[in-house]
Amino acid sequence: VKLEEIRQFAPKVLTREQCEFYYENGYLHVEGLISPEWLARLRTALEEVVEKSRTITKTDDNFVLDPAHKADAPRLRRLSYAADNHPGFWDFAKNSPLPDAVADLIGPNIKFREAMLNFKWARGGDEVKWHQDTSYPYTNTWPIQTLTCLEDVGMEQGPLMVLPRSHKGEVYNRYDKEGRWVGAITDEDLKRVPLEKAVPLTGPAGSTTFLHIYTVHGSRRNDSPRGRPLLLCGYDPADAFPIRGLPLVSKYTGEIIRGKETLYAHVEGGKVQMPPDWTEQRYTSIYEIQQKEERKPGYYGVG
């Protein structure tokens, strides 16, 4: 099996124990992987994109605005294409120790999927309801999400919460009774999810979470006076191919970041609910869908 193949490579930046923790629990939270220099560069890039958002008045493919966003007081939910918007984010996604750690976890050949910023702004930054990242199923279950805190995150900021070992369990329903993709695990299915076992991942700026795409996760609203900007960089093993299109396709999506390309898909058995076909539906963001601001038959959203 794939895990046995991955274990043959000696990890370069993580320890063997950290890798095993990830395989067992479906997540890994690491402090100190990102240097203060990288963090400073990411924060500069963050300031620059927030500055740019002042000229934006309506949510577009790139800037997902909080309804209260104004030129003189920006409030953002998400920047959907962080790497395309600022070379600092792309440089980080490609050249920092982050993809080295990803290669330690999912094998030496990896390609870039996406990079986005979830802002969770101060005083009202949105909740992200419980979900798995099955809005983009693949031929196998090795694609990974990474989430790096650009500021210190305590309980009041609405940290990412994960349910350990849930990547080994069920893939939950994300459609409502009318057949609309709701971007979150349905209330009915949620009754079967042992959420009392969920773990909040607080930590200092620069800490990173590695998340298996089937791990149940979410985060609460941020009512505190401090924002919780989080940089998400997603990667796929070179041998994982999306079977239903991807919600967010950047100009860098599919670019090999470490190792080499392959023409052969690694295919695993199993059952996964199909999201709507993203090549036919416009994607906005998880926030619009989960908050019911925008929900149409077959319409989607989470990532």
Chain residues that interact with ligand AKG, rule: CB under 6 A = 118, 120, 128, 160, 217, 219, 230, 286, 302-303
Q: How far is the CB of 10 from ligand AKG (least distance, A)?
A: 31
Q: How far is the CB of 286 from ligand AKG (least distance, A)?
A: 5
Choice between 6 and 102, CB closer to ligand AKG: 102
Containing 79, the helix (H) or strand (E) segment is strand 76-79
Instruction: In whole angstroms, give the CA distance from residue 162 to residue 197.
Output: 9
Choice between 207 and 219, CB closer to ligand AKG: 219
Choice between 96 and 285, CB closer to ligand AKG: 285
Choice between 107 and 112, CB closer to ligand AKG: 112
Q: What pairing do the DSSP bridges indicate for beta strands 144-149 and 230-237? A: antiparallel
Instruction: In whole angstroms, give the CA distance from residue 35 to residue 62.
Output: 28
CA nearest to 258, candidates 101, 116, 84: 101
Ranges of H-type helices in the chain: 2-7, 16-25, 36-53, 82-85, 87-95, 97-106, 187-190, 286-290
Cβ 238 vs Cβ 111: under 8 Å:
yes
CA nearest to 134, candidates 213, 246, 25: 213
Amino acid at 111: K
Choice between 75 and 120, CB closer to ligand AKG: 120
Q: How far is the CB of 218 from ligand AKG (least distance, A)?
A: 7
Q: How far is the CB of 177 from ligand AKG (least distance, A)?
A: 23
Q: How far is the CB of 119 from ligand AKG (least distance, A)?
A: 9
Choice between 18 and 219, CB closer to ligand AKG: 219
Q: Is 175 exposed, middle or buried (0-12, 13-18, 19+ CB in 10 A)?
A: middle
CA nearest to 109, candidates 138, 147, 81, 142: 142
Choice between 101 and 230, CB closer to ligand AKG: 230
Cβ 222 vs Cβ 158: under 8 Å:
yes
Q: How far is the CB of 8 from ligand AKG (least distance, A)?
A: 31
Choice between 49 and 128, CB closer to ligand AKG: 128
234 forms bridges with which residues in the sheet? 114, 145
Q: How far is the CB of 16 from ligand AKG (least distance, A)?
A: 27
Residue nearest to ligand AKG (CB): 219
Q: Which two tokens stand for residue 202?
A: 């607080």
Q: How far is the CB of 285 from ligand AKG (least distance, A)?
A: 8
